[in-house]
Structure 1
Amino acid sequence: MTGTFRYTSPEPPRTATGVVADVYAQLATDFGIDRATTFVVLSASPPLLAGTWAVMRESLLAGQVSRTGKELVAAGVSLANRCPYCVTAHTVLLHATGDHTLAERIARGEQPEDPGHRQLLAWGKDMSTPQPFPSRQAPEYIGTALAFHFINRIVSSLLTEDMLPGGAQKYRLVRSVAGRSLARTVRRELVPGESLALLETEGAAPGWAADTPIGTAFGALRTAAHLGAGLLADEDAELVRTSVAAWDGVSPLPLQGEGLPDRAERPGARLALLAARAPYRITDDDVAAWQAPPFTDHCLVHLIAFGAICAVERIEATLTARTEEHA
C-alpha cells in the first residue's frame, strides 16, 4: 500500500477486520469503490474512518436532494481548498450521474451553463454567501460541504494529487469511463442512517442537521477528530484552536513569520495548523519533524484530523452566524 499514501502505510483492505472491514464493505456497496484511498488512509483509526464515512454517506450519498447539486457543492469546496484529487473525484462522479458536459466544464475550470448549478458551485466555494437552496434541503447540502472541508484536508495532507495511477485522471476519456463504471451505484436510492451502526464515537448533533442521521454522523466525527488534541501540549492545542478561531476561513497561513509555529520548536502545532489552514503546504520536513517514535500512523491521522475539524468548526460557525442573522 504505497504510491498514493505520502506518510502512512495502511494495511491492505483485504486484511481488514472489525469495523474497518465493515466500513469497506459498505463503501463497496454504497459508494461503488471498495478501496477508496480517501478512506483507506484513515484506517489506522477506526473511529475516524467510520465517522468520516458516515458523514459523507448520510449527506452526499443518501437523502432526497439532487446528487448533481451536492456534487457541485463538493466540487466548489474542493476548488476553494485547492484539492485537485477531490476536484477530479467530483468530476468523475458527475460523469456517473450522467452530467457529462457539466463534469467537463468543472474539469476545465469553467462555470456551469445552468444558473442554478453556478450558484451551488459558488456557494461551495464560499459558504458565507446566501444559501441557494430551500431550508428543507440545508442538512444535506451543509453536511456535504462540511464533510468535504474535512476530507479535503485529510487528502491534501496525506495523499498525493493523483486520483488514478500515473495521473490518468487528466484524460477526459478516462474520467468519463471511470464515471460510467459507477453510474449504477450512484443512481441507487440509499436508505438514510445505515452507516450509524458503524460509529464508535458519539457527540452532540448540530442544529443545522435538523435531527437527521447527518447530525449523528457529524457529532461522532467531531468527537473522534478532537481526540487528536491529546497529542499536543495544552499550550500547542490552544494555539491551534485560537489561530483557527481568529481565521477568516479563507486566507492561507503565511509561509513564514507570525502565525506559523517554528518547525523545530513546535512541530505538532505547526502540522495541525497547516492541516487546518493550508494542508497543501505540508512538506516532508514538517511531518518528519514531528513523526518520530512513539508517534505512529494512528497518531498522524489523528493530529491531521484535529487540525481539519478545527477548520470545519470555524467554517460551520460562520455559516451558523449567517443563518441566525437571517432567521
Structure 2
Amino acid sequence: MTRMLGAERLLARLTRGVSQQQVRYVAAVPAAAATPRVRAVYAQVERDFGMLAPPVSLHAPSPDVLAAAWVLLRETLLAGDRSARAGKEAVAASVSAMNACPYCVQVHTATLTGLRRHPVEGRPADLSRTAVAVTFHYLNRMVNIFLGDPPLSAVPAGVRPAAARGAERLLGHLGARSHTPGASLDLLGVAEPPADLAWAGTGVVADALARACAAVEARAREAVPAPVAELVTARLVDWTGAPAGIDARRTCAAAAEQLPASCRASGRLLLLTAFASYQVTAADIAAFRRERDGDAALIEATAWAALAAARRWGRLLTAAR
C-alpha cells in the first residue's frame, strides 16, 4: 500500500480547496464537513492519487456513489502492474477524446507525457484496457456535467506552457508509483457480478466492477423513476456506440415526450447523460431539480445513466472476443 511522503501530504492539503472550487451544479463537500464515510474515501484518494481528484470528489453528495467512483478508478487505472500504467493512461486519454471530455483529455495526456520520463513501460492486457475504457466512459460523462473546463484553462496564457510542463512532471511522478490491488474494495459491500460484466472474468477488477455497479444501482432505485430507467435501458440495448451528433438534444427531448409528464425532465437529462453528456446545460439541471430535489438525487441519477452507457461500451468492446 502506498505511503504518502511529507511533500505529497502537503500537496494534497494545498490542492483540496482548488479541487472543490471546480465542482458545479452540486455543493462541494469539504473534508472538514464530510461524514466519516466520505472522509475515508477522500483519504484514500489523496493517498493513492496524490490529491483530491475533482472527478472523484464531485460525487460526494452521495457517499455510496463516491465510493463506487473511486473503486472503479483505483482498481482499473491505478492498481496493479506499474509497467502498464502508461498504456492505461493512453486508453483513458483516447476514450476521453471520444467522449468530448477536454478536462480528462488534458489530465490524462499530461500524465501520459509525464510517465514517459520514467523508464518502465509495458502494454496492459486486453482485460485491463477494457476495464479502463469502461471506467472512463463513466467518468467522462460525470466530468462533462459537473466539472466542465480543463484544469489549466484558468491559468494565464503567458504562463500556461510552464504550468503544463509542471503538471506533466507532477502527474508523471504520481502515476509512476505502485499501488496494491484491492485496497479500496472494503469501501463497498460484496456483490454478485451482473451478466453483462462476464467479460471481466474473476479477480480484483471484476470484484471492483461488481461492487461499484451494485452500489450505483441501489441508489438509483430511489433517484431514477422507473419509466426513465426503462427508457434509457431500452435505448442502450441496440446502441452501437455511434456519436449522438448535433441533433442529440432534439432526439433526447423527443424520446422523453413518451414519458409521464412528472418525469420528462429527468428522462431528458439522463438520456443526454448517456448519449451526449457534453450537451447537458444548466437548464437541464434546473428542470431535473424541479422534479427531483437534492444534490444526492442528481448525482445518483446521472451516475446511473453514465454507468449504464459505460457498461454498454464494455459489451461492445468485448463482443468480438
Which whole-Å CA distance do the structure 2 matches of 1:99 and 1:244 have between them? 41
Which whole-Å CA distance do the structure 1 matches of 2:139 and 2:97 have between them? 13
Q: Is the 8 A contact 1:63 1:140 kept in 2?
A: no
2:139 to 151, 176, 181: 151
- Give the corresponding residue for 2:229: 237
2:249 to 236, 251, 255: 255
Q: Counterparts of 1:173-188 in structure 2 under 5 Å? A: 173-188=162-177
Q: Report whether the alignment pairs 1:207 with 2:198.
A: yes
1:99-150 alpha-carbon deviations (Å, 9 max, x no partner): 59xxxxxxxxxxxxxxx99xxxxxxxxxxxxxxx68xx22321111111000
Gaps of 5+ in 2: 1-16
Q: Report whether the alignment pairs 1:66 with 2:84.
A: yes
Q: Is the 8 A contact 1:59 1:139 kept in 2?
A: no
Cα 1:98–1:173 shift into 2, 3 Å: farther
Q: Report whether the alignment pairs 1:142 with 2:130.
A: yes
Cα 1:291–1:167 shift into 2, 3 Å: farther
- State the Cα distance separating 1:210 from its structure 2 match: 3.0
Choose 75-84 or 91-100, whichever is displaced more: 91-100
- State the Cα distance separating 1:46 from its structure 2 match: 1.5
- State the Cα distance separating 1:89 from its structure 2 match: 0.7
Using structure 1 for the length normalisation, give the TM-score: 0.80
- Give the corresponding residue for 1:4: 22
Q: Counterparts of 1:47-196 in structure 2 under 5 Å? A: 47-64=64-81, 65-99=83-117, 137-164=125-152, 166-167=154-155, 171-196=160-185
Cα 1:79–1:165 shift into 2, 3 Å: closer
- Give the corresponding residue for 2:212: 221
Greater helix share, structure number = 2
Q: Is the 8 A contact 1:48 1:224 kept in 2?
A: yes
1:39 to 56, 66, 73: 56
Task: Give 4+ residue runs of structure 1 displaced > 6 Å after superposition.
Answer: none
Which whole-Å CA distance do the structure 1 matches of 2:133 and 2:48 have between them? 19
Partner of 1:14, secondary structure, is helix
Which whole-Å CA distance do the structure 2 matches of 1:49 and 1:168 have between them? 32
Cα 1:214–1:228 shift into 2, 3 Å: same
Cα 1:257–1:38 shift into 2, 3 Å: closer
Choose 17-26 or 70-79, whichever is displaced more: 17-26
- Give the corresponding residue for 1:107: none
Using structure 2 for the length normalisation, give the TM-score: 0.82
Which whole-Å CA distance do the structure 2 matches of 1:57 and 1:190 have between them? 9
Q: Is the 8 A contact 1:50 1:200 kept in 2?
A: no
Q: Is the 8 A contact 2:96 2:102 kept in 1?
A: yes
- Give the corresponding residue for 1:313: 311
Q: Is the 8 A contact 1:59 1:214 kept in 2?
A: yes
The residue type equivalent to 2:215 in the other structure is A
Gaps of 5+ in 1: 101-115, 118-132
Cα 1:283–1:73 shift into 2, 3 Å: same
RMSD: 2.7
- Give the corresponding residue for 1:109: none
Cα 1:168–1:183 shift into 2, 3 Å: farther
Cα 1:306–1:167 shift into 2, 3 Å: farther
Q: Is the 8 A contact 1:271 1:282 kept in 2?
A: yes
- Residue identity over aligned pairs, in percent, reads 32
Which whole-Å CA distance do the structure 2 matches of 1:68 and 1:294 have between them? 41
Q: Is the 8 A contact 1:44 1:298 kept in 2?
A: yes
